[in-house]
Amino acid sequence: MSYDFYRRAAIVCQAVPCGKAATYGQIALLCGVPKNARQVGYALNKGRLGEDVPAHRIVNAKGILSGAAAFETADLQKRLLEKEGVNAVRTPMGWRVDLKKDGWHNTMEDALRFRELFEELGI
């Protein structure tokens, strides 16, 4: 049932370009299930989407990095992002990236292309 969701999520996550950051809600939306933002985080945490997904490029709606909870060290995600040219700033909430500048901004066509891709894959 929700297995299709994870397959879709894996595809969308891998489509996030290097040097850009996407939000959980954004991934869920492109998967066609806007309310499943939490499942995206769950899936990444459990490695449910596979090994080759750029998990460090996924942040929450405010641009806050998940940090130590999910990576080896507290600043691994931050280092990976900065290596791609995305810099994070320290805030009381944690490290944050500027989604205005480094966010992955999707167009309506992107969403449409994913939708038909899923359709032809039957997932």
Partner DNA sequence: GCACTGACGCGGG
Partner DNA sequence: TCCCGCGCCAGTG
Binding site for DNA (CB under 7 A): 1-3, 5-6, 23-26, 35-42, 44-46, 55-56, 58, 60-62, 66, 69-71, 77, 91-93
Of 108 and 120, nearer to DNA (C-beta) is: 108
Least distance (Å) between residue 102 CB and DNA? 14
Least distance (Å) between residue 119 CB and DNA? 20
Closest CA to 71 of 59, 88, 61: 59
Q: Using DSSP bridges, classify how beta strands 22-23 and 58-59 pair: parallel, antiparallel or unpaired.
A: parallel
Least distance (Å) between residue 23 CB and DNA? 4
Instruction: Count CB-CB contacts under 10 A for residue 15.
Output: 17
Beta-carbon contacts of residue 43 (< 8 Å; ≥ 6 apart): 6, 9, 49
Of 3 and 120, nearer to DNA (C-beta) is: 3
